Structure 1
């Protein structure tokens, strides 16, 4: 990487280098286990001119998202999060039967199904063929496409301008930040709203959430860098909410510049927090790499010690973030013989790079392991409830982030 993708600066400084890993959602079929597996550098840098943290665009979105392994509806807490958002947005923006809502990267319709239920006209724009098909089967109108200024203009010409454009957990997933933002502007009405949810770089660094660094995420935002990114496409930030999702996320409320007005007090408050944390100077980034190394050492020490004691550890979940953690730590089936996942798409496949088998969740009850390593730690409350049954044989849960935590489960 030689230039910042947002401002064009060459002033890029290293934040953390995680070596080289395969794409995090490239799960392997059994017949692929003897084939070569490409890996790509995973090195996060920050631009000291606009403070956008970013990875080099080594993998195109087309390679990752045309066929995708992640289906949002398998997380019940995420579906509920979407339902509450739709309810609140409908009240906030007075959405009704004459309104139009577009969601970009709408996945399997996990959010827009709540819009459909309210009788509000909507459209999903989803690049992944397989998950888009699942959305249509669920009754959510979905266009299979990547968002660009041209796509946004075409949707607007056919369906009219959107009163609300939703872009949840996608603003980090596109290397062409400026083109994507212009696409959002093309979709939204001149007096409409754009709502973006994206992981907050502040909590990523404060809470050691380095496993959310993977090739699908091309950049990591603060409010300060998001303001600049939105402006590149003619949008202005007017409000922000701090959310607990994904370990700490931003919900950015933006409008076309001509309709925006003054930003809320909450925007100023979060900007002040980021500045106090040193995220607009290099000092805020310098210790992150050392704290990442400690997470790795602690997890490996636990797994090796458990193995030497003859205790069994298995995994729960096969999320993208888990594959960053497994590859960075060098964890193989000798230390983690398998992991399980609720998504049938992943059953019978293997984690990229580390080649750990992925099995159905009922395998845990059958094997009664001593420990369950929870890889989607961001769903801690939901999964602690789902895994309460491991208490029956005295099993315990292990959470690796923000620091190693071994917990007893209560029924």
Structure 2
């Protein structure tokens, strides 16, 4: 990478280098285990002119998203989050029977199903053929396409302008930030609203959330850099909400520049927090790499110690972030016998790079391991409850981020 993908500057500074890993959602079938597996550098840099953090676009969205292993509906808390969002958006935007809602990267319809239930016309725009098919089966109208200015214009011509465009957990996934943002503007009505949820770089840095750095995430936003990205497509930020999702996200409310008006006070408040954290100067990033290295050392020390004591450790979940962690730490089946996942698509497959088997969740109760390493740590409250049965045999849960934490399945912390 030689230039910033947003502003074109050559002033890119290293934040953390995680080596080379396979794409995080490229789960392996058994017959692929003896085949070569490509790996790509995973090096986060920040532009010191516009402060957009980014990795090189070494893979394309087409390689990742035509068939995708992630189905949002398998997370109970995520479906509830979507339901709550829809209820709030209906009130905020004033949606009714004559409204039109478009969602970009709509996955399996986990969010738009709540729009359908309210009798509001909607359309999902989802590039992954397999998850888009699941959405249509669930009764959510879905177009299998990537968003571009042309796609946005075509949807607008066919369905009318959208009163609300939703783009949750996708703004980091596209290398062409400017083209994607122009696509959002093409979709939205001239007096409409755009809502974007994306992980907040502030919490990523503060909470050591380095495992959310992977090849699908091409960039990482502060509110300051998001304002500039939105402006590149003719949108203006009017409000921001701080969310707990993904360990700390921002919900950006934007409107066409012509009707935006003055932003809410919360925008200035978050900008002040980012500035105080040093995220508009290199000092704010200086210690991150060292703290990432400590996460790796602590987790490996724990796993090696457990193996030497003859204790069993298995994983829970096979999220993309987990594969960054496993590859960066060099964890393989000798330290983590297997992991489990609620998504049947992943059963019988193996984690990319580390080749750890992925099994159905019932395997944990059958084997009664001493420890369960929780890879989707961002769902901690949900999973402590789901895994409460681990307490029946005295097993404990291990959370690696933001620092190593071993807890009782009933959530009482015992060591750290």
Corresponding residue pairs, total:
411
Where does 1:144-155 land on structure 2 (aligned, <5 Å)? 144-155=144-155
Q: Which runs of 4+ in 1 moved over 2 A?
A: none
> What is the match of residue 82 of structure 1?
82
| Counterpart for residue 6 of structure 1 | 6
Q: Which residue of 2 aligns with 1:163?
A: 163
User: In structure 2, how many angstroms separate the alpha carbons of the residues matched to 1:76 and 1:396?
Assistant: 22
Output the CA distance in 2 between the equivalents of 1:142 and 1:295.
41
SS state of the match for residue 255, structure 2? strand
CA RMSD of aligned residues (A): 0.5
* Equivalent position SS for 1:391: helix
How far did 1:94 drift? 1.2
Q: How does 1:4-403 map to 2 (within 5 A)?
A: 4-403=4-403
Give the distance between the partners of 2:108 and 2:31, measured in 1 at CA: 28
Give, in whole Å, the separation in 2 of the partners of 1:204 and 1:264: 24
Q: Secondary structure at the match of 2:123?
A: strand
Q: Tell me what 1:409 maps to.
A: 409
**Equivalent-residue separation in structure 2 for 1:281 and 1:135 (angstroms):** 43
SS for the counterpart of 1:310 is coil
Q: How far 1:92 sits from its partner (Å)? A: 1.1
Distance of 2:226 and 2:410 partners within structure 1? 41
| CA apart distance, 1:12 | 0.2
Q: CA deviation at 1:170?
A: 0.1
Paired with 2:388 and 2:124, the residues of 1 have a C-alpha distance of 36
Deviation at 1:410? 1.9
Q: Secondary structure at the match of 1:17?
A: strand
**Partner Cα separation in structure 2 for residue 409 and residue 58 of structure 1:** 40
Partners of 2:58 and 2:375 lie apart in 1 by: 25
* 1:79 Cα offset (Å): 0.2
Match of 2:130, SS state, is: helix
1:46 match: secondary structure = strand
Separation (CA, whole Å) in 2 of partners of 1:91 and 1:221: 27
Distance 1:188 1:410 in 2: 46
Q: Deviations over 1:344-388 (max 9, x none)?
A: 000000000000000000000000000000000000000000000
Provide structure 2 residue ranges, at least 5 long, that are not aligned to the other structure: 412-416
Alpha-carbon deviation of 1:166?
0.1
Alignment partner of 2:164: what SS?
strand
**Cα shift readout 1:304-354 (whole Å, capped 9, x = no counterpart):** 000000000000000000000000000000000100000000000000000
Instruction: Return the alpha-carbon distance in structure 1 between the equivalents of residues 158 and 145 of structure 2.
Output: 15
TM-score by length of 2: 0.99
In 2, Cα distance between equivalents of 1:304 and 1:76: 33
2:271 and 2:410 map into 1 onto residues whose CA distance is 39
* Deviation sequence 1:258-283 (CA, Å, 0-9, x none): 01000010000000000000000000
Residue equivalent to 2:414: none
Distance 2:112 2:284 in 1: 38
